[in-house]
Amino acid sequence: MADDKYGQAQWLDKAVAGIRFRPDRAAVRAELAAHLEDKQADLQRIFPDIPPQEAEVRALEAMGDPEVLGRELAKIHKPWLGYLWRLSQVLCTLVVLAALWGAMSGSNPPDIWVHTNPSWLGEQPEDRQEELERIVFGSKIQSRPLPVQGAVEYRGYTFTVEEGTVWEPLAEMPEDRFVPYEQAVLLTLRVEWSRPDQPLAANFSGELWAEDDRGNGYLSYEDYYHNADDMPRWGEAQLLHCGVLARTPFSCVYEVVLPVLNQETGQVKLRYTYGGADLSIPVVLEGEP
């Protein structure tokens, strides 16, 4: 009996020897063993007097030559698919473990969803108007939409002025007024890029400055900060404000507020020159861009 069992085991080993992926080899071996058991049971049911040893031998004979069967099985069971599958399981497990570790170690959450910030001037148009009246002009103002502007491509980034408003005082401003501005431009600037790991530098909003076609310059937040040795305040001289409104992995929307010195100003250029860059985004205040 022991000899026969050994014979069966030997037959099974030979039949699965060509399958190189071990889990497959074990599974196929178990399946073949089950087939053998079934065949043996069938023989014993059909021929009740047959000794179990002979039933086993006959069952093995009925299964055929293990070497021929082994070659066929090896053809079907490609090892690379098994190894790749196992690798993918390991990869998934590692990623889950690393994500848990990352979450527990307090890493920054990924930029895979949209982050939004409220506008500094308020969410509603009337809020913004009130803020501009209060902090820039000190008098009642009216608005008109900014003309549609063209997009600017620069070194793989696309800059688009999406919408904007030009604000002007309703009445002529007194000569001895405290603030020197005659217009204010409020616009949203969308910047897009193609790879999530290459967002525009975080210092963009702080380094954005402007110049107008009358020869006036408007300091960036950073320039003002460095020059004035103090945090800038609203309504102070020739300062551009830029803040992030929304951020996704492929884009960022900035809010730009620019009080303009002269009512005759027809165009301003938003500039980013940090580190030697030379970005210029023209913004036409009236007429066609």
Partner 1 sequence: MRTWWKNAWARRPKLSRGWKLVRNLVLGAVGGYLLWSFWGYPLPTAEMTFRRLERQHLLSPSELVFSTPEYGQGTDAASKRDRMVEALDGTKLYLEDCWFAGVTEESTVIASVERGLLLAGDGQLRGYARDGGPLLFPLSQSEWEIPRAYWVEVDYSVGAHYTYHNFVPFLLLDVPGETRRVELSLELRQETGTQILPYQADSWDLGGGVWLVGAWREDGQSPSPWLEGSYTLRLYDEKDTLLKQREGAIPRPL
Residue numbers of the site for partner 1 (CB under 8 A)?
81-82, 84-85, 88-89, 91-92, 95-96, 98-99, 102-103, 107-112, 154-157, 196-201, 203, 249, 272-277, 279
Q: What is the 3-state secondary structure (H, E, C) of 55-76?
A: HHHHHHHHHCCHHHHHHHHHHH
Tokens describing residue 156: 């793989």
- Chain position carrying tokens 């509603």: 124
The residue (of 48 and 275) whose beta carbon lies closer to partner 1 is: 275
Tokens describing residue 83: 């190894």
The residue (of 102 and 180) whose beta carbon lies closer to partner 1 is: 102
How far apart CA 93 and CA 59 sit, in angstroms, is 43
Minimum distance from residue 41 beta carbon to partner 1 (Å):
27
The residue (of 215 and 275) whose beta carbon lies closer to partner 1 is: 275
Q: What is the CA radius of gyration of the chain?
A: 38
- Cβ proximity of 106 and 129 under 8 Å: no
- Chain position carrying tokens 């399946």: 31
How many other C-beta atoms lie within 10 A of the C-beta of residue 265? 18
Tokens describing residue 221: 């937040």
The residue (of 180 and 196) whose beta carbon lies closer to partner 1 is: 196
The residue (of 9 and 99) whose beta carbon lies closer to partner 1 is: 99
Number of helices and strands in the chain (H, E):
8, 11
The residue (of 58 and 78) whose beta carbon lies closer to partner 1 is: 78
The residue (of 99 and 170) whose beta carbon lies closer to partner 1 is: 99
Pick the closest to residue 242 from 197, 190, 285, 284 (CA basis): 190
The residue (of 41 and 84) whose beta carbon lies closer to partner 1 is: 84
Strands (E), the chain: 115-116, 141-145, 152-154, 157-169, 183-192, 209-212, 217-218, 241-248, 251-260, 267-272, 279-284
How far apart CA 166 and CA 72 sit, in angstroms, is 79
